[in-house]
A and B are shown apart, each in its own frame.
Chain A
């Protein structure tokens, strides 16, 4: 049976993880390769590496990191951050990434999704959508796509944008609710469910995971195909093997590696 996926996300800058990481058993907890390898060994189903600085100078360091990750781990991984051209994607896939994630550049230039899907195949193009529930200029509350780490609102409605990116050739959606992100109060269940029910491509839910039940909720009520989180894994508030065991005990299909 196709399993639900658990995906730790690593924010990196200059090749090192930046969000606080608290792993005493790692020689160098800031080393993004070593941390990723540990998650893979624990049973993570995929990894996401985000280049949060995404500067021109930092790009070659990031590509070098991608190369080292690909050399070390034997599960799929996605990379994102500052990707805006076919050349960017080509360099990252060539370095060994399995998928790339685009966000602001897709909002700025939606045709980029079509171009990338045509050039590299939909299976490796993830479109990340940062969304926030806000009052629009017409005075009604709606889910609106945001860019710049969720700070800058766009004109795009989240639900219709999700459909559009699929039609343009995205292979997967990474949906981050800026309303729940960082709260540890749970994922944005209703929005995730609406988007996943409308989509024929997998939806990765992100933002708000605080406990194991939140993953159960987003996989059942939220209809998500994968759940992504960062700090709760980095700070070992939830251990991946415990989480997968918990979800399997609750009859969700999980890839158990031990």
Chain B
């Protein structure tokens, strides 16, 4: 099996690589179109800001490539947000795989933004959450989120309910960081790699 991690100007993807090492999966870290197209599984991770990451994807043609992929794709954190239609973070037009807009958490007295730390996900119904315990806790760090929509396959609640995971056809996405979400995160990654 060939697993590719898409290389772009996102922050620290090292922990994603270590997570795959722990599972025992070989991977390629690349932005090469042929390598990405020929992969069995594609991971699109990301820590960063929407507009700068999106303009880099455009520069490299990855904004056209990613939506055209037909094998299982997993986007995480900013990777997930870039797969949506639009992000309020610097009013960025994104790839539009998921027809939903990413919004900033509303300012709420006494509640901190970013949403940082462990929170539980609920109502999950994805192949990636197969055999997961109820109310599983995963690790989040973000200030923007996709609202609950027709593609939502797991929900989290912070200020309002939002999409913790999205799914449409071969595209899967998680707002949280599977790679550092303990045994739960590892299980979700393993489920993805088994698709």
Contacts and interface: CB of A to CB of B under 8 A. Distances in A.
Contacts of A153: none
Interface in B138-182: 139, 141, 157-158, 177, 179-182
Contacts of B14: 70, 93-96
- Greatest chain B CB density within 10 A among A1, A76, A94, A226 is at A76
A130 interface: no
Interface in A1-17: 1-3, 5
B129 to A, nearest CB: 17
Contact of B12 (A71, A93, A171, A257): A93
Interface stretch (A22-30, A116-124, A228-236): A116-124
A71 B21 contact: yes
B117 A2 contact: yes
Contacts of B137: 3, 255, 257
Contact of A257 (B18, B114, B182): B182
Contact of B120 (A1, A199, A202): A1
A40 B181 CA distance: 11
Given A5-B117, A72-B22, 6 more contacts: A2-B117, A2-B119, A3-B119, A120-B11, A200-B112, A257-B183
A45 B141 CA distance: 14
Contacts of A72: 22
Nearest to A120: B11
Contacts of A136: none
Contact of A45 (B11, B22, B47, B117): B117
A172 interface: yes
Contacts of B157: 1
A175 to B, nearest CB: 15
A94 B49 CA distance: 19
B24 to A, nearest CB: 12
Residues of A contacting B: mostly: loop
B48 A121 contact: yes
B56 interface: no
Contact of A123 (B22, B47, B120): B47
A94 B14 CA distance: 6
Contacts, number: 88
Interface residues of A, number: 32
Interface residues of B, number: 33
Contacts of A70: 14-15, 18
A71 B119 CA distance: 24
Contact of B116 (A75, A121, A171): A171
A200 B105 CA distance: 13
B180 A3 contact: no
A45 B140 CA distance: 12
A124 B47 CA distance: 10
Closest 8 CB pairs of A and B: A255-B137, A255-B118, A123-B141, A76-B180, A3-B118, A70-B18, A96-B14, A2-B119
B114 A74 contact: no
Contact of B11 (A1, A71, A121): A121
A13 B131 CA distance: 41
B116 A202 contact: yes
B186 interface: yes
Interface in A90-105: 93-96, 98
